Amino acid sequence: MSVTGILRRALIVIPFTLLISGCYDRLDMEEASFSLVLGLDRDEQGNLIVYSSIPTFNQHAKKKTHEIVVSSISPREGRLKSDAYSVGSFQPRKLQVLVVSKALLLHKKEWDRYLDVFFRDGRNPVTSRVLVYDGKLNELFDYHPPDKPILPLQLLGMLESTDSRAETVVTTLQQLQRELLDKGQTPALPQFALDQELKLNRTALLDRDGRYAASLTSKEAMLLRLLQKNADKFRFTIPVPKHLVEEPGAANVLSFSADQTKTKIKVSRKGDKFRYDIYVHMPVNLTEILFPIDVVVEKAELEAACSAEIRKQLEALISKFQQKRLDPVGFGVYARAREYGYFKQVQDRWVDEFAKAEFNVKVNVVLADIGAIE
């Protein structure tokens, strides 16, 4: 047989061989258990409770998901115990959301060691989102509204929606691990609760030890995202000085959208004190004014009023961080880049150094578009 003939036969046989090998370890979805949501909570005695939400693909199943609850000493043992209740082979690679109860963050010392299995075992994904639940996780995993999708889709959709408005942070397992290990920053996590319906309207702040320390409102979270430089689109509703409102009884409120916000942060040091100069350039589009005013004539005064209000809110937020000894922005990262030698000396007490730092905030709001008014 000629060489050409051999090559032709090889080209015919090889594709079929590849197809056969691809079917060797096939796993039907009906025979697999995909834990899309994993929950970590504590009972009254302080023991770890592990929750799992597994979608069911059986057409005869009455419920869309199968919830498993076990008590264990670690997430890994919890998974092994859950296997006894799951239908099919357990697949950890599909985890989408890790939910940690606020109670666990408040009361369990060194709770972050429970995350070890996600990084040590290569079968676990590190891109899963991490959220904080304000309540007992049994309430969450028992929540099955007939008019809503399954729990993982609800959580991911809610997180995507609030993230698009910069009203919270989005933190993956990998990012949380980095923030826990970084001595120049403290972690922040999206926080939600169940009040008739699921509602994500807070951002949890953890201290240097990973314990729950404080939370932010949606408005404060937007300012945090502005300082973090990881979002450039914001929607604000703010008050303006009452002297701009000539009509008695009219609300001194306006709304605007900012789509090309730029934030610059410069750091310097004088002696043992750091100084941060923060400059925010914010072109805005007016979307609502609740008082009569000639925007064209009063443009400069409106810009000054908006700039002053945003600066005031930023200064209040930074002051809150300093009082709580929290640095979710990562000002310590800037200090390390600028003053590496000195930062290494104070890194173990960075939050105390941050608390005495000076901040100079400047905001420049520019009315780029006043909207269609006639």
Q: Which residue among 163, 182, 216 closes a domain?
A: 216
Q: Which residues lie below 8 Å from residue 229, measured CB to CB, with a gap of 6+? A: 263
Q: pLDDT, tens digit, for every residue of 14-52? A: 666 666 555 555 545 455 567 789 999 998 888 899 998
Q: Which residue among 185, 201, 216 closes a domain?
A: 216
Q: Within this chain, do residues 212 and 68 fall inside the same structural domain, yes or no?
A: yes
Q: pLDDT, tens digit, for every residue of 220-270? A: 999 999 999 988 788 999 988 887 777 676 788 889 999 889 999 999 999
Would you state the structure tokens that stand for residue 352, as one six-digit string?
Answer: 């105390």
Q: Binning pLDDT at 50, 70 and 90, where does residue 133 land?
A: very high
For 318-339, letters b (16+ CB in 10 Å) and e give beebbebbbbbbbbbbbbbeeb
The domain that contains 277 carries what CATH number? 3.30.300.210
Asked if 126 contacts 173 with a C-beta cutoff of 8 angstroms, the reply is yes
Distances (CA, A) of 69 to 48, 138, 282: 11, 9, 48
Q: Within this chain, do residues 242 and 374 fall inside the same structural domain, yes or no?
A: yes
Nearest to 333 by CA among 120, 130, 142, 184: 184
The mean per-residue pLDDT over the stretch 123-150 comes to 91
Q: Within this chain, do residues 87 and 203 fall inside the same structural domain, yes or no?
A: yes
Q: Within this chain, do residues 185 and 327 fall inside the same structural domain, yes or no?
A: no
349-351-353-359 Cα dihedral, nearest 10 degrees:
170
Q: Within this chain, do residues 102 and 232 fall inside the same structural domain, yes or no?
A: no
Q: Within this chain, do residues 272 and 161 fall inside the same structural domain, yes or no?
A: no
Identify the DSSP state of 172.
Answer: B
Q: Within this chain, do residues 210 and 223 fall inside the same structural domain, yes or no?
A: no
Q: Within this chain, do residues 210 and 171 fall inside the same structural domain, yes or no?
A: yes
Q: Within this chain, do residues 279 and 171 fall inside the same structural domain, yes or no?
A: no
Task: Tell me how many domains the chain contains.
Answer: 2
Q: Within this chain, do residues 162 and 21 fall inside the same structural domain, yes or no?
A: yes
Q: Binning pLDDT at 50, 70 and 90, where does residue 296 land?
A: confident
Mean pLDDT of the chain, nearest integer: 87
Q: Which residue among 216, 231, 258 closes a domain?
A: 216
Report the distance separating Cα 342 and Cα 214, nearest Å: 29
Report the distance separating Cα 233 and Cα 218, nearest Å: 14
pTM of the model: 0.88
The total number of residues written for the chain in this structure: 374
pLDDT at 77: 85
pLDDT at 13: 65
Residue span of the structural domain in which 244 resides: 218-374
Q: Within this chain, do residues 175 and 224 fall inside the same structural domain, yes or no?
A: no
58 or 329: which leads in pLDDT: 329
Q: Within this chain, do residues 190 and 288 fall inside the same structural domain, yes or no?
A: no
| Residue 147: CB atoms within 10 Å | 4
Asked if 92 contacts 35 with a C-beta cutoff of 8 angstroms, the reply is yes
